[in-house]
Amino acid sequence: MPDTDTSTREMESVESFRLRARAWLAEHMPRIPEGAPPVSRADDAGVWVRDRELQRILWDGGFAGICFPAEYGGLGLPVEYQHAFTEESLPYEMPVHLNVPNFSILGATLVDYGSHEQKAEYLPKLLSGEHQWVQFLSEPTGGSDLAGCVTRADRDGDEWILNGSKIWSTAAMSADYAMCLARTDWNAPKHRGLTMFIMKIHQPGVQVDPIKQVNGSLEFCQEFFDDVRLPVNSPIGDVNDGWSVAQALLAHERNAVGGGSPYINGRNHLAEGADGARDNTFTTLVRALGTQGDPLARQLVAEAHALDVVQRGLVQRVSAGMGNGAMPGQAAAITKLFSATSGVRKTEIALLLAGVDGVTWPDDERTVGRDAGEPFLQRQALCLAGGSNEIQRNIIAERVLGMPREWAADRDIPYKDVRRNALPTSPR
């Protein structure tokens, strides 16, 4: 384990850290070849193996978990140090798939709610790449109503017995552990009878099935739990207070998807909006197609660039507001909503730039047109991941702007008495 104790020595300056990172990256991390495509899809098992290898290199070099607590294997440094490292790392291969959910969502939630023993056991393995995590939240019958969870966990002596199903879990087939939300008290209202558990995935009673998407990806999975046994100390936070943990997790997810998480561990080398990026998807596309001089192409690239500039400014403003208390933590919904809507527009721009090359391509080749067409097929996922756009607008209205909450038929009644799979009645 690298020496990460910053408590007994003076903290180096950001610029000194940047220069040290620059030299270390040049010596230890593989450079990305010129003209390399964006990172591979997350359903490629080799991607996760490679990302774990890269994360281990960072860990051994003392550059893993820059903003995570030093007590649990991180460096305990402010976010400016992570930003500096990210900028320096853009020309190099980085374990970007582990960013979400490993570090910026689940690792961050474990820092917030995990016991000392849980953090000491799991965070170093997370930061070293030994473990990969996933979140088990959404359910086939739940839609956007996360608190409508019907997966149940029942206490049985020194164990919990888990039964139910989860869905849309990213790369669960490759993960080792999950944070799983389950109902533990059916007599409480739906938000107050939930518990968040740490669970080992590959064990008796757990079945993980990949889901084939319209673009051919098998990134998402559905899980089935049949009398899965969990240790008595599996809950994160208090039993029946899982909604508090879930709210923190979702806030971290909105912050991560919106681009404001301090735990983001590197960026895609072609990431739109990445400061210092040598290029981006749109300029790469027009150069490959030879349309640099086309007025419409130039206008579209400029529009994409403007969206990136606005997003960077928005992330900085909202992050600063949440940091100094001027904005509530739920303000991350603002950056998440903008990221989703602008992301959809940028997939449209990429397809417009690619033209017919973005509509058809050879099955066995990676082409610039394919790299534009495949994201377009999956563009609406941007408006669902981390919570739908409609949910984000509700959060902004009710929890940021202080507007009245929407009426709900199932509020403050025991969940066992809630009518499910039926149309709700209207208030009188």
Which of the four pLDDT bands, split at 50, 70 and 90, describes residue 5? low
- DSSP string covering 184-208, please? --TTS-TTSSEEEEEEESSSTTEEE
* 86 has pLDDT over 50: yes
* 423 has pLDDT over 60: no
In this predicted structure, what is the pLDDT of residue 425?
A: 44
Domain 14-132, CATH homologous superfamily name and number: Acyl-CoA dehydrogenase/oxidase, N-terminal domain (1.10.540.10)
* Helical H segments across 63-203, by residue range: 79-89, 108-113, 116-127
Entry pTM: 0.85
- Average pLDDT along the chain: 88
Domain locations in the chain as residue ranges? 14-132, 135-241, 270-400
Q: How many residues does this entry show for the chain?
A: 428
Q: 377, 215 in Cβ contact below 8 A?
A: yes
- DSSP state, 241? B
Taken in order 103, 109, 110, 112, the sign of the CA dihedral is positive
Which of the four pLDDT bands, split at 50, 70 and 90, describes residue 76? very high
**How far is it, in rounded angstroms, from Cα 254 to Cα 339?**
10
Quick: pLDDT tens for 10-50.
Answer: 789 999 999 999 999 999 999 988 766 655 566 666 888 99
* 8 has pLDDT over 50: no
In this predicted structure, what is the pLDDT of residue 422?
A: 53
**How far is it, in rounded angstroms, from Cα 74 to Cα 54?**
16
* 238 has pLDDT over 60: yes
More confident residue, 258 or 404: 404
Q: 118, 198 in Cβ contact below 8 A?
A: yes
* Helical H segments across 13-102, by residue range: 14-28, 45-61, 79-89
**How far is it, in rounded angstroms, from Cα 344 to Cα 319?**
23
In this predicted structure, what is the pLDDT of residue 273?
A: 40
* 405 has pLDDT over 50: yes
Q: 139, 167 in Cβ contact below 8 A?
A: yes
Average pLDDT over residues 96-112: 92
Task: Identify any residues that bridge with 44 across adjacent strands, giving them in sequence order.
Answer: none
* 126 has pLDDT over 80: yes
Average pLDDT over residues 274-302: 79
Taking domain 135-241, whether its CATH number is 2.40.110.10 is answered by yes
- DSSP state, 30? P
- Please report which helix (H) or strand (E) contains residue 231, including its range: strand 220-231
DSSP reduced 3-state for 370: helix
Query: How many helices and strands, by DSSP H and E, does the chain display?
Result: 11, 8
Q: 242, 195 in Cβ contact below 8 A?
A: yes
Which of the four pLDDT bands, split at 50, 70 and 90, describes residue 242? very high
Q: In terms of CATH architecture, what is 270-400? A: Up-down Bundle (1.20)
**How far is it, in rounded angstroms, from Cα 88 to Cα 82?**
10
Percent of the chain with pLDDT over 90: 62
Taken in order 46, 262, 222, 196, the sign of the CA dihedral is positive
Quick: pLDDT tens for 350-365.
Answer: 999 999 989 988 877 7
DSSP reduced 3-state for 401: coil
More confident residue, 382 or 200: 200
**How far is it, in rounded angstroms, from Cα 340 to Cα 383?**
5
**How far is it, in rounded angstroms, from Cα 272 to Cα 283?**
10
Quick: pLDDT tens for 261-283.
Answer: 888 877 764 454 444 343 467 88
* 206 has pLDDT over 60: yes
Percent of the chain with pLDDT over 70: 90
For the ranges 65-69, 149-153, 316-320, the lowest mean pLDDT is seen at 316-320
Average pLDDT over residues 122-133: 97
In this predicted structure, what is the pLDDT of residue 53?
A: 96
